Amino acid sequence: MYPKNKPSDEAAPTRRSSYTISLNSEQMKKLGDWCRRKLWVPFPVEYSLFAYKDDQVNLVAYTSGKLVIAGKKTEDFVSNVLEPEITGQALLGYDEVHHPEWYTDHAGLDESGKGDLFGPLVSACVIATGDMVAAWKTAGVRDSKTVTSDRAIIDIEKKIRQTPGVIVKVVFTGMEKYNALYRQFGSNLNKMLAWYHASALEDALPRFTAEHGAPPPWGLLDQFSKTPLVQAELRRRKIKFDLQMRTKAESDPVVAAASIIARATYVRELAKLSKVIGEPLPKGSGAQAKAAGLRIVERFGAEALGRFAKLHFRTASECCGLQPPQKKEWRRFPRQASSEP
């Protein structure tokens, strides 16, 4: 059960300058047609179906189904066009009605780097109050996957970390230690990630309690496995906490904040590795990542790749001219991951 707290309404609301919503294919087509009829100016955005701009409003419709609206007239566009003509639903300004749980004290967990060949796997836990959520919604804090630049990710992260009373905890390791831990977990990445998440939450809970006088009553996790692995790890550590999980949990502002923190941490760590190797290391695990891996192996030898890359990736094996490693049976081991506040 979610607590029934309400967000504070003491301060006058600030007009929003960004808004994100999921649209179905029919709604996307209707919106694209509307923009063309109104002669809005198209502009290119990677991974988008279309992007248009007009006076003080930019629209980017992504292939994932996400629509991101930004600009000083965001609220006007949502209220006057998007809701009455495209979605037929009045949602803007009704978050407290549709999602009262967002405005209660709770934890959010998310990760970054799981699908990237280079750079660490990062788990982030954010614990926030309802007042913080209200402020973040106004400030444009949203799921990291809807943020298109590293600079914007870092800027939003700064807003989150500077929020008075917020608790932020990240857990990650260097790449050589990551590869060693992966083997110790029997080549089971999800169980390794569950251990990371449990470590971040375990460290964050007492800090929130000390700051606010009581622990958060619940938390939300973006579901990454069919079984409740993080909850099982919490029970093993004798931590009693109502951690819920669901797909697309990043719609919750606190989980979205955790996704921003995790991605910003990953971006910084990848930049450090890039500086060490002397060239920008790409995100992802596609052709660019493979080309960079091949250059590392050619320059420094196959044994050097593990200082920068996740060796269990098929791409890493291909760079070294090896067959992908076989998975081993998972076994527990003592806690070793390093973390930062």
Q: What confidence tier does 326 reach under pLDDT thresholds 50, 70, 90? A: low
Most confident of the following: 11-15, 149-153, 190-194: 190-194
Express each pLDDT in 45-73 by its tens digit. Answer: 988 999 999 989 999 999 888 888 888 88
Q: Is the pLDDT of residue 23 over 90?
A: no
Q: What is the model's pLDDT at position 98?
A: 52
In one-letter notation, the amino acid at residue 12 is: A
Contact 315, 287 (CB under 8 A): no
Task: Please report the pLDDT score of residue 324 as a whole number.
Answer: 62
Residues written for the chain: 341
337 or 229: which carries more pLDDT confidence?
Answer: 229
Residue predicted with more confidence, 12 or 30: 30
What is the layout of strands, in order, in the sheet containing 48-54?
18-22, 66-70, 57-62, 48-54, 41-42
Asked whether the predicted pLDDT for residue 265 surpasses 90, the reply is yes
DSSP state for residue 225 in the 8-state scheme: S
286-313 confidence digits (pLDDT tens): 999 999 999 999 999 999 999 999 999 9
The residues that bridge with 243 in the sheet, in sequence order, are 219
**Residue 105 and residue 8: Cα distance in Å, rounded?**
12
Question: Residue 276 above 80 pLDDT?
Answer: yes
- Residue-wise pLDDT tens digits, 151-178: 989 999 999 999 999 999 999 999 999 9
Asked if residue 91 has pLDDT above 70, the reply is no
101-134 pLDDT per residue, tens: 778 899 999 999 999 999 999 999 999 998 898 8
H helix or E strand, kind and range, residue 111: strand 106-112
Buried-exposed string 115-124: b where 16+ CB fall within 10 A, e elsewhere:
ebbbbbbbbb
Q: Which of 11-15, 63-67, 108-112, 204-208 has the lowest mean pLDDT?
A: 11-15
Arithmetic mean of pLDDT, 311-323: 91
